[in-house]
Amino acid sequence: MTNTTDGRSPKRNSSGPMVVSVVAGVIVFALLIGAGVVIAQQATTQWIARSSALVLPSKPVSPEQLPGYYETLSRGQIVTTLAELVRLGEFQTEVADQLGLSESQRAIVELDVNVVADTAMLRVIATSEDPNLAVAMVDGVVEAATTYVGDLVLPYALVPVSKGSSNLTESGMSTVMVLGIFSLVALVAGLAVQQGVLHLARLGGRRSAGRGTQPLADSADPHPPATNGNPPKKDPSNQAARAEASTTEGSAAETPAAKPRGKKAPGKKASGAKASGAKKP
């Protein structure tokens, strides 16, 4: 029974650090996964739709007049003026009313108009959490602005060249991407914590084992031999004990063995009797 218990105890002690390290790694992994789920739920994906329009002469122009038209466009004043006109909120409100958007839906849509550098092109950009809403808003604003500028009977007009449905991109990280990143980070962090805790636990066990065996070594040899070439120290008490033991052994060897007390040997009595019987007549 004693041998069985002693043989099993090291296995239990060796599995203890492993269990603790695995539990620590699982806890860290679960915490990071939970944080990733919370952040993924709060993260929103933005969709960006772009629609472009060119500023061109509104009616056919004779070849003699074309250089003057394009020289005026190259100055940038006409293009900038039309961009500011499209940037007004009236077109966005008109399109939102046509689509029947609520106040919350209108709040999540942002509209911007840019002028492409060194060109006569306008670019209308709509950003929203709903891709369909972004496309409908940007295409509706460009169409409304084109109709409005055409009704002004200006020498220049807006000509749409692209629609938002063909220029729709996703901005930001999706829920799946956020969860994937946090899962990878949680796995790496969990393994790192598990290995770190296991290493520290084993190191602590080795130190405690070393402290437990040190008193036994000290009691077995209180005065170990010197390693630097110096003779070991002599203990006076040990020398006295050895001298006393040698004296006792010497006295015991010099003392003769005592003769045993008892009756005389029967052979000697018989010889005496024979001698007395020979003297008598």
Amino acid (1-letter code) at residue 2: T
Residue 122 contacts residue 50 (beta carbons within 8 Å): no
**Residue 9: what pLDDT?**
47
- Confidence label for 51 from pLDDT (cuts 50, 70 and 90): very high
Residue 132 has pLDDT above 50, yes or no: yes
**Among 9-23, 121-135, 233-247, which is the least confidently predicted range?**
233-247
Residue 171 has pLDDT above 50, yes or no: yes
Which of helix, strand or coil describes residue 114? Answer: strand
In sequence order, the β-bridge partners of residue 156 are 57
Which of helix, strand or coil describes residue 142? Answer: helix
Per-domain residue ranges for the chain? 14-42+175-204, 46-171
Name which of 131, 120, 126 is nearest 77 in CA terms: 120
> What mean pLDDT is reported for the chain?
74
What predicted TM-score, i.e. pTM, was given to this entire model? 0.51
Higher pLDDT: 9 or 82? It is 82
In sign, the C-alpha dihedral spanning 65, 68, 71, 73 is negative
**Residue 268: what pLDDT?**
45
**Residue 50: what pLDDT?**
92
Residue 267 has pLDDT above 60, yes or no: no
Residue 69 has pLDDT above 70, yes or no: yes
Name which of 130, 127, 102 is nearest 113 in CA terms: 127
φ, ψ (nearest 5 deg) of residue 26: -65, -40
Return the percentage of the chain with pLDDT > 70, whole number: 68
**Residue 245: what pLDDT?**
58
Q: How far apart are alpha carbons 74 and 51 in whole angstroms?
A: 22
- CATH 3.30.230.10 fits domain 46-171: no
Which CA distances in Å does 131 have to 144, 166, 234? 20, 12, 95
